[in-house]
């Protein structure tokens, strides 16, 4: 890479790598987890908390931002960084995935997608070039090509058509991107659960040449084993010296296993969404604070954690906040969950550097398998 962008691999452990992706607005330590800042805010969090927990980069959703408050408005207000108060790197998706999952009356053809806003029903048209123009208006640091993502299971014909279309859009996206200094463009591998299509997609994208390569169309309904199989065949077909980004993934267990298969970047709404629904990620696994077992429990979520919501408050208090529907419930549990994820990523980076990723994975899996503390009996 060039244009003020540098990806460096500092250490490897099997197929796993640790290093950094440097952009003018900041350096992203990899493997990295990107909190999702859907609409210019990571839900129920202050940006300075997100940063302090160890996030080097956040994700912004082009679909949400183009509909509300509008990309041109954000551009007039100085771009997404000035607007939201996040000064580090921002990755924006293309908008395509949300069009497929949220918008109504959507149609896809080779020229792009047509859809109606889930907010107000207005009709919108987005081509690969439109998506890049919107992302340029937002002035994100890492931009994604528009792709067509197919939910699994799907028949091979549907998967192949979407993959070929995504490749054609990759070429158009690269031309539209224009390679501005300090801004990166990632291509997206498609191909569903078909190994040969995945490899063909990866090799074709490598031929076009991108600053990074995302694996899309996974965690869309298939078993984890299928996702991991696809990574095992896809990642080796990607340029080794560029970052590999697994889109929309996932659970901590998914992340550990994907890192072991050469993935460098992740994003997922799970930690914040689960946090708003009363669920805490911990080294004991996922805990549902709504459960009555916590109502009288004076113990913290995890006495060994070094973040306040897990260390300084009783499970009984967290249970109460969740049951009472208090805003602080979502604030505390989103904080806890992002802290847990970033703590996991820091551990992963250290483990790769130390050549002991398998040991970390085994320890994490054992902790989750052992499950929660015994029920409090006073």
The residues that touch a copy of itself, with contacts defined as CB under 8 A, are 39-41, 43-46, 68-69, 73, 76-78, 82-85, 276, 295-296, 298, 312-314, 316-317, 319-321, 323-324, 326-328, 330-331
Is the CB of 9 or the CB of 328 nearer to a copy of itself? 328
What is residue 222's DSSP assignment? S
Q: How far is the CB of 52 from a copy of itself (least distance, A)?
A: 13
Residue 320: strand pairing partners:
none
- Cα–Cα distance, 124 to 208 (Å, whole number): 29
Q: With contact defined as beta carbons under 8 Å apart, do 194 and 156 qualify?
A: yes
Is the CB of 315 or the CB of 349 nearer to a copy of itself? 315
Is the CB of 27 or the CB of 41 nearer to a copy of itself? 41
Q: Would you give the distance in Å from CA 19 to the centre of its chain? A: 18
Active-site hit among 13, 139, 211, 267: 267
SS3 call for 128? helix
Helix (H) or strand (E) holding 20: strand 16-23
| Peptide bond just before 250 cis, omega within 30 deg | yes
To the query of whether residue 93 is one of the catalytic residues in this protein, the response is yes
- Cα–Cα distance, 303 to 149 (Å, whole number): 42
Residue 144: strand pairing partners:
186
Q: How far is the CB of 4 from a copy of itself (least distance, A)?
A: 27
Q: How far is the CB of 266 from a copy of itself (least distance, A)?
A: 23
Is the CB of 157 or the CB of 325 nearer to a copy of itself? 325
> Scanning the structure block, which residue is given the tokens 């690269």?
174
Is the CB of 290 or the CB of 323 nearer to a copy of itself? 323
Hey, CA dihedral for 222, 145, 264, 45, is it positive or negative?
Answer: negative
SS3 call for 312? coil
Hey, CA dihedral for 152, 186, 89, 6, is it positive or negative?
Answer: positive
Q: With contact defined as beta carbons under 8 Å apart, do 274 and 333 qualify?
A: yes
Q: How far is the CB of 88 from a copy of itself (least distance, A)?
A: 16
Active-site hit among 93, 139, 264, 302: 93
What is residue 248's DSSP assignment? T
Q: How far is the CB of 72 from a copy of itself (least distance, A)?
A: 10
Which of 258, 177, 212 is closest to 23 using CA atoms? 212
Q: With contact defined as beta carbons under 8 Å apart, do 103 and 116 qualify?
A: yes
Q: Would you give the distance in Å from CA 41 to the centre of its chain? A: 15
Is the CB of 284 or the CB of 313 nearer to a copy of itself? 313
Q: How far is the CB of 269 from a copy of itself (least distance, A)?
A: 14
Is the CB of 213 or the CB of 317 nearer to a copy of itself? 317
Q: With contact defined as beta carbons under 8 Å apart, do 306 and 300 qualify?
A: no
C-alpha angle 177/61/91, rounded to 5°?
Answer: 55
Q: How far is the CB of 3 from a copy of itself (least distance, A)?
A: 29
SS3 call for 135? helix
To the query of whether residue 267 is one of the catalytic residues in this protein, the response is yes
Residues with catalytic roles? 93, 267
């Amino acid at each position: 890479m060039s244009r003020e962008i540098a990806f460096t691999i500092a250490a490897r452990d099997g197929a796993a790598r640790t290093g950094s992706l440097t952009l003018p607005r900041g350096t992203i330590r990899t493997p990295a987890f990107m909190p999702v800042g859907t609409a210019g805010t990571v839900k129920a969090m202050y940006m300075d908390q997100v940063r302090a927990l160890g996030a080097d980069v956040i994700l912004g959703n082009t679909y949400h931002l183009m509909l509300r408050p509008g990309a041109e408005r954000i551009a007039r207000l100085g771009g997404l960084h000035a607007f939201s108060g996040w000064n580090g790197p921002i990755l924006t998706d293309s908008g395509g995935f949300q069009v497929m999952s949220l918008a109504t009356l959507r149609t896809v053809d080779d020229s792009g997608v047509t859809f109606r806003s889930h907010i107000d029903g207005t009709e919108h048209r987005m081509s690969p070039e439109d998506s890049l123009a919107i992302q340029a208006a937002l002035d994100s640091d890492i931009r994604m090509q528009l792709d067509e993502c197919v939910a699994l299971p799907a028949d091979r014909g549907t998967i192949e058509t979407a993959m070929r279309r995504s490749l054609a859009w990759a070429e158009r996206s690269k031309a539209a991107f224009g390679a501005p200094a300090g801004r990166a463009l990632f291509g997206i591998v498609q191909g569903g659960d078909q190994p040969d299509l995945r490899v063909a997609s990866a090799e074709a994208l490598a031929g076009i040449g991108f600053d990074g390569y995302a694996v899309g169309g996974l965690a869309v309904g298939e078993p984890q084993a299928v996702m991991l199989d696809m990574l095992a065949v896809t990642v080796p077909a990607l340029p080794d010296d560029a970052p590999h980004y697994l889109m929309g993934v996932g659970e901590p267990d998914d992340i550990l296993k994907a890192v072991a298969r050469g993935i460098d970047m992740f994003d997922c709404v799970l930690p914040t969404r689960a946090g708003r629904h009363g669920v805490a990620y911990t080294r004991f696994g996922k805990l549902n604070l709504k459960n009555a077992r916590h109502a009288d429990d004076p113990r913290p979520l995890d006495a060994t954690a070094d973040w306040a919501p897990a260390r300084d408050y009783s499970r009984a208090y967290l249970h109460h906040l969740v049951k009472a529907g208090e805003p602080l419930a979502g604030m505390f549990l989103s904080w806890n969950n992002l802290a847990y994820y970033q703590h996991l990523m820091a551990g992963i980076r250290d483990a790769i550097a130390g050549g002991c990723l398998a040991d970390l994975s085994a320890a994490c899996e054992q902790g989750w398998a052992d499950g929660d503390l015994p029920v409090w009996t006073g």
